[in-house]
Amino acid sequence: MSYVFGLHAVTALLERSPERLRALYVQRGRRDQRMGALVEAARARGIRVEAADKRWLDRRAEGSHQGVLADCHDLALSDEKDLEARWPTMTRPVLFLVLDGISDPRNLGACLRSANAAGVDAVLLPRRRSAPLNAAALKTAAGGAEDLLLVEVANLARRLEWLKDQGIWVVGTAADAVDSWTQADVAGNCAIVLGGEGGGMRALTRKTCDQLVRLPMRGSVQSLNVSVAAGILLFEAVRQRGL
């Protein structure tokens, strides 16, 4: 069991995956229109709604809960067999996002939000080197995680080789890359790979990429937050596809 909190995240969960909800807890005394609509929608779906003190909610939420918290089943990740089964039915050109070792759940959630907005077909996450898809990640994703195909991968380099065998161009990000991000070839079937905070992609992941690109830093900072970099590259793919 896990918690999802925040008006936007809980509303998205209720609309897209109501079967995951066990109960909805609403801060005692909240009577605004948006909260009322959320409570009404939950009750219409047969979901139990209970009033709770703010301090009770504070203890269970890993951030600003905005007066609402849902007790729900965990969001299930797909496996590699499911990815392979779905592959023939995906609309071309496909766009994948591969996250190699994101450690902060909020960064993971922000990446998933950008992936949803850009129409990503699947997000690949390594089984052993990824932040948990917990309440903080889902809150940051703001409802974007529920619509995505999230695939847990046992061996990332091996799965990238499989993608390449299917005709997918694999583009990774590296500070020392020769090509700029505007030179990324992301108009066709492609997978955009980003490494974890600080260390970036692992050496084997980097070696597997077809192309490496960089985001030039003009100021005093040496790098962008991984979720910002993900958004830039994903929407470069959107631009190149004329969408």
What does the block give as tokens for 197?
Answer: 């905070």
Distance (Å, rounded) from C-alpha 4 to C-alpha 7? Answer: 9
Place of tokens 């023939």: 88
Distance (Å, rounded) from C-alpha 182 to C-alpha 204? Answer: 24
* 194, 209 contact by CB (below 8 A): no
H helical segments located in the chain: 7-16, 33-44, 54-60, 80-86, 105-117, 135-141, 156-165, 203-208, 226-240
Condensed to tens digits (0 to 9), the pLDDT of residues 18-58 reads: 988 999 999 998 888 999 999 999 999 999 999 999 999 99
The answer, yes or no, to whether residue 71 has pLDDT greater than 80, is yes
pTM (global) more than 0.85 = no
* 211, 179 contact by CB (below 8 A): yes
Distance (Å, rounded) from C-alpha 235 to C-alpha 139? Answer: 22
Condensed to tens digits (0 to 9), the pLDDT of residues 110-164 reads: 999 999 999 999 999 999 888 988 888 888 888 888 889 999 999 999 999 999 9
Band of the pLDDT at 1, cuts 50, 70, 90?
low
